Amino acid sequence: MNTIEKLELLSRDSQYDLACACGSGKDTRRRSSDGARWLYPVPLISGGTGTMFKTLMTNCCSNDCAYCPLRGGANAERCTITPDEIVRTFTEYNYKRPLYGLFLSSGVPDQPDRAMERMIAAAEILRKKIRYKGVIHLKIIPGASFAAIEEALSYASTVSLNIEVPGVEHFKKLSEKKDFMNDIVRPLKFIAEQTAKGMKYSRVKSTTQFIVGASDEKDSEIVHYMNAIYKRLNFNRIYFSAYQKGLGKPDIPGEQREFTLNSGRELLTREHRLYQVDFLLRKYKFAAEELIFNENGNLDLRLDPKERWALAHPEFFPVRLNCADKETLLRVPGLGPVYVSRIIALRRERRISALSQIGLRGVSAIKSASYLDFS
């Protein structure tokens, strides 16, 4: 393959990792296809739409991650690209069409540090020779040494190491080769230490990702780990990717047990609910203990988690629109940070008698109004 052909394949195969900034416009945000699969905004060298030049250094991999279509032994077309090829092509592409930055990940054909070396080499060339000042997001390979992680931090704007599932037992069901505590948790803690406030790499952002539905995990287990990642490790963002049936083989070797317990549509809804929980924890000042799960430990697929909380706490409502503080208003279903900011700004000038005054109309306005007191 020539460089263009390799990048077509490798950038397409990078779509399964979401732990990076994604576009927000109608042409760049993720969307669901008729087959209940997420379609990802991956900028291809042939000229797709998107904000991040996103590719693997190689899709060759010896790991046995059951959810991954690129796992060792899977039937996939393989190739590898060199650091010089990445730098040359990214630089040319960025010149023609300015991008948000570069996202580099990699399969693991042999040792984790060997995979890290290729990504780090590309980042080093960009920073030192090309003098590139933009965003570089480097994927930390599970099992990478602390020395390799620290070198990646020296060049990266953002690093990510995917936690995949909430805990050792779930991880064992998806990989016999990797060790959850040594290959995932230990380096996650090291990244947190190195990027903490006041440390050398405090400027570097850190993210991680869960694969939703590849094991038989409960939403409550994921939320427990989310809370720890934000509170103890101070990571910047957590991403979620609904497991896509047919791309991997999530079963215990020898038992042929299928772990994907939900249909495609249910998995996409689960992913969406977890993103809503993520916003409640990060932006709405909810505590993890306040979230409501069903008897199976999962989030309600019919109602968003904030509305579910509101229905369980009638004593909290109605909220007085014209005098409640910001955090109280954020508890009202249908009101997010933008509308709450508008409310606070407008009521400095006059009393608000209708949500249409802040631009909220239709079904959302009717829902929110049922939880509000306009007096």
CATH topology of domain 313-373: DNA polymerase; domain 1 (1.10.150)
In DSSP terms, 5 is beta-bridged to: none
Which pLDDT belongs to residue 43?
Answer: 39
| Structure confidence at residue 309 as a pLDDT band (50, 70, 90) | very high
9 pLDDT above the threshold of 90? no
Residue 55: per-residue pLDDT? 87
CB atoms closer than 10 angstroms to residue 275: 13
- Tell me which of 43 and 146 has the higher pLDDT: 146
Please give the model's pTM, rounded to 2 decimal places.
Answer: 0.87
Average pLDDT on 302-326 reads 97
Nearest-angstrom CA–CA distance, 198 and 185: 22
Q: Which fold has domain 3-305?
A: TIM Barrel (3.20.20)
Ranges 93-102, 125-134, 285-294: which has the least confidence: 93-102
Which part of the chain has CATH 1.10.150? 313-373
Predicted pLDDT of residue 22 = 45
pLDDT at site 371: 97
Rounded Cα gap, residues 247 and 69, in angstroms? 5
Confidence of residue 303 (pLDDT cuts 50, 70, 90): very high
Nearest alpha carbon to residue 296 among 220, 374, 194: 220
pLDDT for the residue 75? 83
157-197 pLDDT tens trace: 999 999 999 999 999 988 999 999 999 999 999 999 999 99
Q: With bands split at pLDDT 50, 70 and 90, how would you rate the model's confidence at 12?
A: confident
Tokens of 281: 């924890």
Token pair recorded at residue 18? 């979401």
Q: Return the pLDDT at 74.
A: 83
**Nearest Cα to 369, choosing from 338, 341, 343, 337?**
343
Mean pLDDT confidence for 302-314: 97
Residues present in the chain in total: 375
Q: What ranges in 156-211 are assigned the alpha helix state H?
A: 168-174, 186-194
Contact 239, 207 (CB under 8 A): yes
Cα–Cα distance list, 351 to 10, 94, 322, 360, 365 (Å)? 56, 50, 6, 16, 17
As a whole-number percent, the residues of the chain with pLDDT over 70 amount to 85
Give me the pLDDT at residue 73, please: 83
Where do the CATH 3.20.20.70 domains begin and end in the chain?
3-305
Q: Say what percent of the chain tops pLDDT 90.
A: 67
Collapsing DSSP to helix, strand or coil, 200 comes out as coil
Statement: residue 246 has pLDDT above 80: no
When pLDDT is cut at 50, 70 and 90, the band that residue 259 belongs to is: very low
